[in-house]
Structure 1
């Protein structure tokens, strides 16, 4: 295949055949792609994905090309001249014309996000120009509605349909963004709400997805660019309260729930600069206190206190052994 790809690239006679070869190679051999072949595959598949035709066959071809590109591991370095203008145009054209399938669009974002490993300068493009927070929120809302409708109409509980697969892929991309990027804007507040809505539809039907929601929102509490009030307003506290009332929870899931409240409590105890900001903090603190008191949250924490040492042996984020560090007092 390698020899055929190099040969076809030099001949430049059969573009469709070269595209097929590149797709097959990346799907079969994505863990070890020589630089020589990356310089062939990336431009070739981006060119295929840039085609403006919108018929069903063209959409499928673009979907396969972008899915193949998304398989390229983030640890591969290649020059931005090979991909940046093209992937930017693909994403922006879709935002304006909706010419890609849901899987194709998610794959385009995965391909771009994977390039962050060697290019932190892409953060501003991703956040401010391509509006990742807004787009991920919109896509998750649409996918959740689609899956919920199918469950209602066809009773497709616990089935790994295409939409469920795409949701899980979005979560992987969001998680990588959260661990790699420091930039944040107001659009990400809506993304929190979308993740919570996915949790609500999935908690009884797709347990793997609901647990991913718990992990994502728990990690968001560490980001000091996100206000605790925003987390509460978008339903994050409801998510954890509901999750911790489950009859059976795995140790790592309990750990993520406790980690969220430990971080929230710590941040609400910290005094802020300026009268207005301090008044806002106290108001938020009271709102959170009243909500958790209504939920009986302190009783839940107390019941789990004996497991914290066990949890700390099995999780990355260490939990406090002081039970009061999880409470919000006024």
Structure 2
């Protein structure tokens, strides 16, 4: 039976979360009311997974994740307020090694969490299979320098990720030099309200101009967009080296929206210039069909290796299609992408 520790400063929330997990077959071996007690409970009980509130007294969730990863590396799912501050704190916790998060309904302690029980169980079950060492093991960015003339004209890059993805996406994008002049589309499984903050973080930490996708926007060289939460992102047009984006809310695909496959498949149909598809850490099979589509039109395809993935689901399913050109670690992925768009590549 999968062992879990529940950490939240609200007794009500601890009880509700524990009941949901126990009803799903988890063994909740301990509850804690702050980060310090939570880290101690992890050390004592050695659970398979932890749910962690962000805002708590004595030691908050960010500090607790850092403590857990230093002493007893364990997969952690953050429960975050659906606010700007909550989103930023969640990304900081993921930098420290948390593998995934779930937004609390309304950003408040509420019985509505019960209505999100299935999503909570899915997140925790997926996280329990994650490798916490991989989640926290991304090397500092190395400077990438190259001259303009080394790259093909008008290259497009599609990056897809899920569980454990934000830190890896940030690493990959920060390794890409502006003079590569890529048009970058990022599909990270993430709810609405968090994708805008994620885009802002990527914008600060890379040479690319990064924003959250908007319906009808056009993307040129040196620009990157993050698919908006709860919307599929399509490539609806391509001309003069610029992509046109369409957002739509057709039913979820593979249980998610945005879906990696939607963006990759429409890019394969629409983009006539150089095209590279990359799938990173995450649970499920979203991205496999997209990688096949990109490969079928002569595009380059890459997948993250198992050793550096938090969850080797999405890359594994893509590799199984036989359409992945190369498998690389998170640290090597930036260089691998650049290799696909070099004039002599």
Q: Tell me the TM-score range normalised by the shorter chain.
A: under 0.3
TM superposition score normalised by structure 2: 0.26
Is the helix fraction higher in 1 or 2?
1
TM superposition score normalised by structure 1: 0.27
Larger Rg: 1
- Kindly indicate whether structure 1 or structure 2 has the higher relative contact order, using CA contacts under 8 Å at least 6 residues apart: 2
